Amino acid sequence: MPDEAAYQVFNYVENSFLHVPVGANGGQEDTCEDICRWICEKLKIRPLVFSLIGLRIHGDAHTHTRFLAGCNRPSTDRKYDFRVRFKIPDLSCLKTLDQSLFNYYYSQLRYDLLQNRIPEINYQKQDHKSRVLGYSVNDMYRKMIEDNVTLDELRRDIDKYIPRKINREYSLFLFNKAHKEIFDKLSSIRNRDHDLNYVKNVYINDIDNIAPGYLYEEYNAEIPYPGGEQSSRTGKCPVKLRFQPYGNTRSSRSTSSIKQDSKRSENEKLVEAEDARDSPGLKVLYSSKWQHVANIDEILSILVEEPERKVNLALEDQADPYCIHFHDQTEMTSFVTCLAGYYRLMCKWTVYLCQEYVSSPSLNRLKELKFHGPIGGKYSTDKIREKNSTPGACIIRQCEENFDTYFVDMLEDAGVIKTYKLIYKCIDDQWHVQRDKETVIPCNSLKEAFSSLNPEITKVYRLPPSDNDNAPNPT
């Protein structure tokens, strides 16, 4: 019903707000993760890539770093954006991981390009402007393939495919000239037999080449005066913070050499501005130069002090924490969850760096139940054979395709590992054991469900996830 309380979340595929019902998680108080999960299920986005998305406060281009933590409580009085937040090293792999998320990322990227929300694209530069018009041609060609629209239909709706900034700045003569060039190109390629994913992939990768920092986040903060200045200057200095998970190809220095710099006695070492911009890691912009602070695997923990809005990073081989002060609570939370999210993706999937301040409810539940994430069957069976040869040894892992669905890989007699399906029904708080296609057994508790897997096995040994697991993940 339209009068029911709902959260308003922007969906880039439909270019409109979704109304997510309050109580999306089955009656308990909703978290941001619950909202994201509800949308994932609606858009058919798989649990495998759930850790790549986030919920951001809706607003103008200046709110791009205002992401909420998964454990935060959303409000029906605010609007939000459902975003692909975390970047993987090779964007072309996204369609292999999840076709629905690949399509969503395309729509998100397209929206940001049309709304002039990609800072690295400068419409004042003629080469950038020409390339953006090329992206418009690509997008219209995509529309022709995807929805079978005609050139005449595209002519009527051309404003939907050209960024507003270019539309405003072009004179009538230049606009007509660009208009003719666009449709001349479309006429020449419309009969080519291109795959839709190929066309989308070209669009995504070309924009990534011109704007490799898309999805990266920058924050305003303060730090104590760095290096030798501390002896002569007191107080804090304003800086920009940026975490870049992957290096750009321009960089002339290797990751290992940057890592050696971060292990010196000072909190951070000055790196040439170009290298600091291109190399991976956490960096600060101070005195017009970028300084490298640490790589993601060198961050040992994150401690937040409230109400001071102070973040202390414990760094490898550093006696003192790296201290950062924020002016805004939401921006501080966004920064902390950015680091914690990339740490899970790039280092240890089961570790959330700032568990005492913010957390991932879905990860907490998996740990509480001693369930693995979506690690896949091969890794699971290999781990069982390595860790325990006793009949009844098992691993429970999250299904890669569906939420609240798990697989139980159990070692049975004669060294055979059999897989059962376990489905949690939130409505009646029951576990349903599926032994085969015909046999489904409802159980009132997890313990009862374990006993129902194979009645001939009286003891079930659940192998819990470990921080040292080297299971596959989206990156």
Based on the fold, state whether residues 226 and 356 are members of the same structural domain.
Answer: yes
Q: Which domain holds residue 396?
A: 370-462
pLDDT at 262 (0 to 100): 42
Based on the fold, state whether residues 171 and 132 are members of the same structural domain.
Answer: yes
- Percent of the chain predicted with pLDDT > 70: 87
Based on the fold, state whether residues 322 and 223 are members of the same structural domain.
Answer: yes
Q: Which of 70, 105, 140 is the endpoint of a domain?
A: 105
Q: What are the C-alpha distances in Å from 194 to residues 189, 367, 449?
A: 9, 45, 49
Based on the fold, state whether residues 380 and 316 are members of the same structural domain.
Answer: no
**CA dist., res. 40 & res. 37, Å (int):** 5
Based on the fold, state whether residues 353 and 236 are members of the same structural domain.
Answer: yes
Domain membership of residue 254 (yes or no) is no
Query: pLDDT, tens digit, for every residue of 378-433?
Result: 999 999 999 888 899 999 999 999 999 999 999 998 889 999 999 999 888 999 99
Based on the fold, state whether residues 377 and 359 are members of the same structural domain.
Answer: no
Based on the fold, state whether residues 297 and 395 are members of the same structural domain.
Answer: no
Based on the fold, state whether residues 241 and 336 are members of the same structural domain.
Answer: yes
Specify the DSSP element, H or E, that contains 199. helix 196-210
pLDDT at 270 (0 to 100): 41
Q: Which of 52, 70, 105 is the endpoint of a domain?
A: 105
Domain membership of residue 472 (yes or no) is no
Task: State the Cα torsion 21-48-209-125 to the nearest 10°.
Answer: 10
Domain membership of residue 1 (yes or no) is no
CATH of residue 230: 2.30.29.30
Domain membership of residue 175 (yes or no) is yes
Q: What are the C-alpha distances in Å from 342 to residues 42, 88, 280?
A: 25, 10, 12
Question: Who has greater pLDDT, 180 or 282?
Answer: 282
Query: pLDDT, tens digit, for every residue of 280-319?
Result: 999 999 888 899 999 999 999 999 998 999 999 999 999 9
Domain membership of residue 286 (yes or no) is yes
**CA dist., res. 158 & res. 146, Å (int):** 17
**CA dist., res. 470 & res. 458, Å (int):** 30
**CA dist., res. 383 & res. 281, Å (int):** 32
CB 364 within 8 A of CB 435: no
Domain membership of residue 310 (yes or no) is yes
Based on the fold, state whether residues 375 and 358 are members of the same structural domain.
Answer: no
DSSP 87-132: PPS-GGGHHHH-HHHHHHHHHHHHHHHHTT--TT--TTSHHHHHHH
Domain membership of residue 302 (yes or no) is yes
Q: How many CB atoms lie within 10 A of CB 24?
A: 21
Nearest Cα to Cα of residue 319 among 259, 265, 262, 268: 265
Domain membership of residue 165 (yes or no) is yes
Residue with tokens 């004669």: 414
pLDDT at 176 (0 to 100): 67
Based on the fold, state whether residues 221 and 358 are members of the same structural domain.
Answer: yes
Based on the fold, state whether residues 231 and 189 are members of the same structural domain.
Answer: no
Based on the fold, state whether residues 448 and 394 are members of the same structural domain.
Answer: yes
